[in-house]
Structure 1
Amino acid sequence: MSMTQTGDPLHNALAERMNNTLKNGWLFNEGDMDFRQAEEAVSKSVAMYNNARPHRALGMKTPMEVFSGRGGNPLMEYRYN
């Protein structure tokens, strides 16, 4: 469902793009969830989107890296044992 007054997703393209990324990129294969499970999955997905997922439009930095001015992408620090 579009979150615009007219119901046209083109009027809020940035938000609709993020909604698409969350739904189809991270939540699509989660199967049936109750409200609490969905709430937790969305929360984790938003945290991942902002803190760990590099964005081409941001010079391959995360939104949090750009916002805070600090590096430290947790995905780049992960080591296999």
Structure 2
Amino acid sequence: MPRLGTRKLHFKLEPLLKDHGIEIGRDYLFALLSDHKLLIRWRKRKVITTNSRHWLRKYTNLTGELVVNGPEQLWVSDITYIRLVNQWGYLSLITDAYSHKIMGILFSPGFIGTRLCRCVANGIKESSLSW
């Protein structure tokens, strides 16, 4: 029985063990399985970060046939989710597509669009472009 938990295993084994005159408690069974490295290891939950099956507008590739042959012609952005103690943090990066220089960076504990605008503003300050 794959991935059978200790409590359920104890429940299923209890009648068989009693028939043979063996009494074992749940906590002792936990300790016994732990000593022999037979406990089920917890699986990390994978965070679902992208949902492309939504009703909102999906943008096509906005660069089209653009050939990037110098710095500050095209910026790309990404959001990275970082696990904190009891919540998620969001790292927003704006990167120059040619030089891979980070033009704007912002970390925030909550996901709010106005904070992303601040990241773009940081990128504009960092660039040599005049606005």
TM over 0.5: no
Structure number having the greater helix percentage: 1
Q: Say which one has the larger Rg.
A: 2
Structure number having the greater strand percentage: 2
TM normalised by structure 1 equals 0.35
